[in-house]
A and B are shown apart, each in its own frame.
Chain A
Amino acid sequence: AQKITQTQPGMFVQEKEAVTLDCTYDTSDPSYGLFWYKQPSSGEMIFLIYQGSYDQQNATEGRYSLNFQKARKSANLVISASQLGDSAMYFCAMRDLDPGGGADGLTFGKGTHLIIQP
């Protein structure tokens, strides 16, 4: 079974500062994918960034980067130069990467509510 732990229920950050959202995971699968999604108050679920367990380099997408430490089973999201529009719920999620390519569902963490203050 897979498990995602997000230990920060809420965070307040000043605008323009960098912010790190913590995520640790547990799985017995050797091949897996890690994802971060953003959910604004409007409710939609927006994909941010992906990291595969065998990827050699940390993933980056614009202002988002993923600090992947496989030995520690952590996949922290780093947002650089935070903006007011970054205020939202952030979910870390994972799924195993079956060699057969099955369409497995995602396992989500409880989320971190990030509030950017002006």
Chain B
Amino acid sequence: AAGVIQSPRHLIKEKRETATLKCYPIPRHDTVYWYQQGPGQDPQFLISFYEKMQSDKGSIPDRFSAQQFSDYHSELNMSSLELGDSALYFCASSLRDQTQYFGPGTRLLVL
């Protein structure tokens, strides 16, 4: 069965640079979620979108923004990167409010 696709899988950036993470949900899923997992931590919810509209907002820094496009894929834009932004970023997708299925994650390292 098709799963959530995230790209890139690994990303290395310098401080103050920008990064864009992409997420392609499971076909027919209309909802995407973004999570950040720091080393040795539990995932923290950032933001979600349903039918291209922001649905819920968690602990997303003001330096980050996200959107969902007409084909339901989503992008997380991260600006003015800080060392503390180094983490595993997950995208998950679901059919409305059903179970969330996670992608493989993007490992971001900020130097």
Contact = CB atoms under 8 A, between A and B. Distances in A.
Contacts of B105: 43-45
Given A43-B88, A50-B99, A105 B104 contact: no
Question: Would you call the interface of chain A mostly helix, strand, loop, or mixed?
Answer: loop
B48 A105 contact: yes
Interface residues of B, number: 28
Interface string A102-118: 11111111110000000
Interface in A83-118: 91, 97-98, 101-111
Interface of A: 35, 37, 43-47, 50, 91, 97-98, 101-111
Given A47-B99, A105-B46, 6 more contacts: A43-B88, A47-B102, A103-B96, A104-B48, A105-B35, A105-B56
22 contacts: A35-B99, A43-B104, A43-B107, A45-B43, A91-B42, A101-B96, A102-B50, A102-B97, A103-B33, A103-B48, A103-B56, A103-B94, A103-B96, A104-B48, A104-B55, A105-B46, A106-B45, A108-B43, A108-B44, A109-B42, A110-B42, A111-B42
